[in-house]
């Protein structure tokens, strides 16, 4: 056995988990080759030092955050369970649905046809008189109305979104995370989710999705505004980490207040203190 | 993306774990295997994750701390790993190995972290050093040992992330090479070769640092 062959098999001598008979040839070679002895000893020495490295211990905030997250998930699961049970159909009901649904649909169709045919008068379509170019005041009024309708639509859209189960909302946010282009509407939705969603998981995922837009002032302002109304320490700490990563100096006054105030969890106060050094 | 995160299979876990699957698991019992506890979590007994956290968060934190070189980042990633365990609990398989699954998730979370920060391990914040300063009475006597550990940490941080990762998995986490190969998505033979090559690399960097110190 030469040096190259012997060194290829040093791993077997060094790591006792590597099974297989260690050839006596390697030991014979080692006994007679000072260069391989040095190579082997240096590897052994490195391995011993590596194994002697002390294990670092995490800080207390990790445990606190974990159990806060677990409790939150348990609450979400408990809230979702009755809904899931209500939705589960019984086998008997399923059969009746197959029989009755087409009959009901057919009946409704026939009723509609008869009512339409014997209707006493038919209304002509309403025509809107064409107007000449509206004056400036009207245009302004129309623009204001459009803005109101838009914001109302957003609010309604968000309310509808909130009615979906947390899993569906999470999927929506995860899909948003994969979109890289700058879409103001998408960013607004993500910030709204971060501020208003009832599920911690969904809020955390929204925050994760916002990382790629952290260079935008509106995003940093949105996270900072959400931080002041957030109740969960886990999300609060994650938001602080976000503001640190974004190097948002605007956050300093809020963080100072959080670091001082007793109404926040200790892990949050510690995170705020660290953030003040890092920003 | 979810499939990518969780589609992971590794050699079979203990057979008796499957027996516990549909029974109510006493989640505080030290006698239950990790696999049985995770199956209980999957079946809705979320408290069982607390026992898994208590068993594994320390070693996982150690691994991630050495991998990222950043204590706070390591804590955040541990939190994310357990968060994803809850989120993707329904994808845990009957024939799974919990530890390997956990490190598979940890590896993905760490990759996300590195992608976001787009950097090698960060320098230690001096404020952190002060916070974690060794205040024991005989700390001075142990300065030499700490110095040695600091060199080894620096050497580890200078390795490629892949080399660092396989060294940490093979030396600190009590994983078999079959499990490591599953986590790294390579053959068992390749995992062994990579671990040995990484050790040689660490040795070279470490002695180079020692040499620079003495000159």
**ipTM of the complex model:** 0.73
Helices and strands counted in chain B (H then E): 11, 0
Please tell me the least confidently modeled range out of A45-49, A82-86, A190-194, B107-111. Answer: A82-86
Higher pLDDT, A39 or B130: A39
Q: In 10 A of CB A256, how many CB atoms?
A: 14
Looking at the partner chain, which of B61, B196, B207 has a beta carbon nearest the beta carbon of A58?
Answer: B61
Residue range B25-60, pLDDT digits in tens: 555 555 689 999 999 999 989 999 999 999 999 999
Query: Per-residue confidence at A225, pLDDT binned at 50, 70, 90?
Result: confident
The alpha-carbon gap from B95 to the nearest alpha carbon of chain A, in Å, equals 23
- Contact residues, A window 238-257, toward B, CB-based 8 Å cutoff: 238, 241, 245
Both tokens of A191, joined, read 């910030």
Tell if the CB–CB gap between B148 and A65 is shorter than 8 Å: no
Look at residue B65 and tell me whether its pLDDT is greater than 80. Answer: yes
Let me know if residue A229 belongs to a domain.
Answer: yes
Looking at the partner chain, which of A47, A211, A278 has a beta carbon nearest the beta carbon of B116?
Answer: A211
Tell if the CB–CB gap between A62 and B152 is shorter than 8 Å: no
Tell if the CB–CB gap between B199 and A62 is shorter than 8 Å: no
Looking at the partner chain, which of A47, A51, A70 has a beta carbon nearest the beta carbon of B46?
Answer: A70
Tell me which chain B residues have a C-beta less than 8 angstroms from the C-beta of A43: 199-200, 203
- Going B80 to B81 to B82 to B85, the CA torsion angle's sign is positive
Residue range A203-213, pLDDT digits in tens: 888 888 888 88
The CATH number, out of the four listed (1.10.4100.10, 3.40.50.10330, 1.10.260.40, 1.10.1740.10), of the domain defined by the range B1-123: 1.10.1740.10
Looking at the complex, does the CB of residue A53 fall below 8 Å from at least one CB of chain B? yes
Tell me which chain B residues have a C-beta less than 8 angstroms from the C-beta of A53: 66, 149, 152-153
- Same-domain check for residues A269 and A154: yes
Let me know if residue A155 belongs to a domain.
Answer: yes
CA angle B24, B29, B30 (to 5 degrees): 140
Both tokens of B139, joined, read 């700390």
Mean pLDDT over each residue of chain B, to the nearest integer: 77
**Residue B13 confidence (pLDDT):** 39
- Distance between CA atoms of residues A137 and A140, nearest Å: 5
Residue range A227-251, pLDDT digits in tens: 988 888 888 988 998 898 888 888 9
Q: What is the dihedral of CA B50, B52, B58, B61, to 10 degrees?
A: -90
**Residue A228 confidence (pLDDT):** 82
- Same-domain check for residues A152 and A48: no
Tell if the CB–CB gap between B207 and A74 is shorter than 8 Å: no
Both tokens of A32, joined, read 């007679």
The alpha-carbon gap from B135 to the nearest alpha carbon of chain A, in Å, equals 16
Tell me which chain B residues have a C-beta less than 8 angstroms from the C-beta of A238: 76
**Residue B23 confidence (pLDDT):** 42
**Residue B8 confidence (pLDDT):** 47
What number of C-beta contacts closer than 8 Å exist between A and B?
Answer: 110
Let me know if residue A222 belongs to a domain.
Answer: yes
CATH class of B142-215: mainly alpha
Look at residue B98 and tell me whether its pLDDT is greater than 80. Answer: yes
Which residue is listed with tokens 């180079």?
B208
Tell if the CB–CB gap between B199 and A43 is shorter than 8 Å: yes
Let me know if residue A242 belongs to a domain.
Answer: yes
Mean pLDDT for the stretch of residues A177-188: 70
Nearest to B164 by CA among B140, B147, B184: B184
Let me know if residue A125 belongs to a domain.
Answer: no
Looking at the complex, does the CB of residue B18 fall below 8 Å from at least one CB of chain A? no
Tell if the CB–CB gap between A54 and B149 is shorter than 8 Å: yes
Look at residue A69 and tell me whether its pLDDT is greater than 80. Answer: yes
Eight-state DSSP code of residue A128? P
Please tell me the least confidently modeled range out of A139-143, A181-185, B41-45. Answer: A181-185
Domain ranges of chain B: 1-123, 142-215
CA angle A125, A128, A132 (to 5 degrees): 160
Let me know if residue A15 belongs to a domain.
Answer: yes
- Contact residues, A window 157-186, toward B, CB-based 8 Å cutoff: 170, 174, 178
Q: How many domains does chain A have?
A: 2
**Residue B4 confidence (pLDDT):** 45
Let me know if residue A138 belongs to a domain.
Answer: no
Share of chain A above pLDDT 90, in %: 7
Query: Per-residue confidence at B11, pLDDT binned at 50, 70, 90?
Result: very low
Q: How far is CA A111 from the centre of its chain?
A: 49
Tell me which chain A residues have a C-beta less than 8 angstroms from the C-beta of B86: 69-70, 73, 201
Q: List CB contacts of A100: < 8 A, sequence separation 6 or more.
A: none
Query: Per-residue confidence at A94, pLDDT binned at 50, 70, 90?
Result: low
Looking at the complex, does the CB of residue B124 fall below 8 Å from at least one CB of chain A? no
Looking at the complex, does the CB of residue A75 fall below 8 Å from at least one CB of chain B? no
- Distance between CA atoms of residues A255 and A269, nearest Å: 8
- Element housing A260 (H / E): helix A252-260
Distances (CA, A) of B173 to A51, B102, B106, B168: 11, 11, 12, 7
Let me know if residue A232 belongs to a domain.
Answer: yes
Domain range for A18 is 3-52
């Amino acid at each position: 056995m030469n040096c190259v062959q012997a060194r290829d098999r040093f791993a077997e001598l060094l790591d006792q988990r590597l099974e297989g008979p260690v050839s006596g040839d390697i030991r014979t070679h080692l006994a007679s080759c000072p260069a391989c002895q040095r190579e082997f000893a240096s590897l052994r020495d490195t391995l011993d030092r590596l194994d002697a490295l002390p294990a670092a211990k995490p800080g207390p905030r990790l445990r606190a955050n974990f159990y806060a997250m677990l409790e939150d998930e348990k609450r979400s699961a408990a809230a979702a369970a009755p809904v899931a049970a209500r939705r589960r159909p019984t086998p008997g009901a399923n059969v009746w649905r197959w029989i009755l649904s087409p009959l009901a649909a057919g009946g409704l169709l026939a009723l509609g046809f008869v009512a339409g045919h014997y209707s006493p008068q038919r209304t002509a379509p309403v025509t809107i008189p064409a107007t000449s170019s509206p004056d400036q005041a009207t245009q302004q009024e129309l623009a204001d109305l459009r803005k109101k309708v838009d914001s109302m639509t957003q609010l309604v859209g968000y309310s509808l979104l909130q009615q979906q189960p947390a899993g569906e909302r999470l999927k929506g946010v995860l899909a948003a995370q994969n979109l890289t282009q700058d879409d103001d509407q998408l960013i607004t939705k993500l910030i709204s989710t971060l501020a208003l969603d009832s599920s911690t998981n969904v809020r955390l995922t929204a925050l994760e999705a916002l990382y790629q837009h952290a260079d935008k002032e509106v995003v940093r302002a949105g996270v900072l505004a959400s931080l002041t109304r957030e109740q969960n320490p886990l999300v609060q700490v994650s938001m602080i980490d976000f503001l640190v990563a974004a190097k948002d100096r605007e956050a300093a006054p809020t963080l100072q207040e959080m670091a001082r105030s007793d109404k926040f969890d200790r892990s949050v106060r510690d995170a705020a203190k660290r953030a003040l050094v890092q920003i | 993306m979810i499939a990518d995160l969780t589609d992971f299979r590794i050699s079979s876990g203990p057979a008796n774990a499957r027996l516990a699957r549909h029974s109510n698991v006493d989640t505080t019992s030290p006698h239950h295997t990790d696999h049985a506890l995770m199956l209980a979590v999957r079946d809705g007994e979320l408290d069982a994750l607390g026992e898994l956290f208590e068993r594994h968060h320390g070693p996982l934190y150690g691994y991630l701390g050495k991998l990222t070189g950043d204590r706070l980042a390591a804590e955040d990633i541990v939190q994310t790993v357990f968060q994803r365990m809850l989120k993707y609990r329904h994808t845990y398989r009957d024939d799974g190995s919990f530890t390997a699954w956990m490190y598979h998730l940890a590896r993905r979370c760490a990759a996300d972290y590195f992608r976001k920060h787009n950097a090698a391990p960060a320098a230690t914040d001096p404020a952190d050093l002060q916070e974690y300063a060794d205040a024991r009475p005989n700390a001075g006597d142990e300065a030499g040992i700490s110095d040695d550990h600091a060199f080894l940490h620096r050497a580890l941080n200078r390795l490629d992330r892949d080399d660092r990762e396989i060294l940490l998995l093979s030396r600190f986490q009590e994983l078999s090479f079959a499990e490591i190969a599953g986590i790294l998505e390579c053959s068992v033979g390749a995992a062994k070769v990579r671990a040995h090559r990484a050790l040689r690399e660490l040795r070279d960097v470490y002695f180079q640092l020692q040499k620079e110190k003495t000159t």
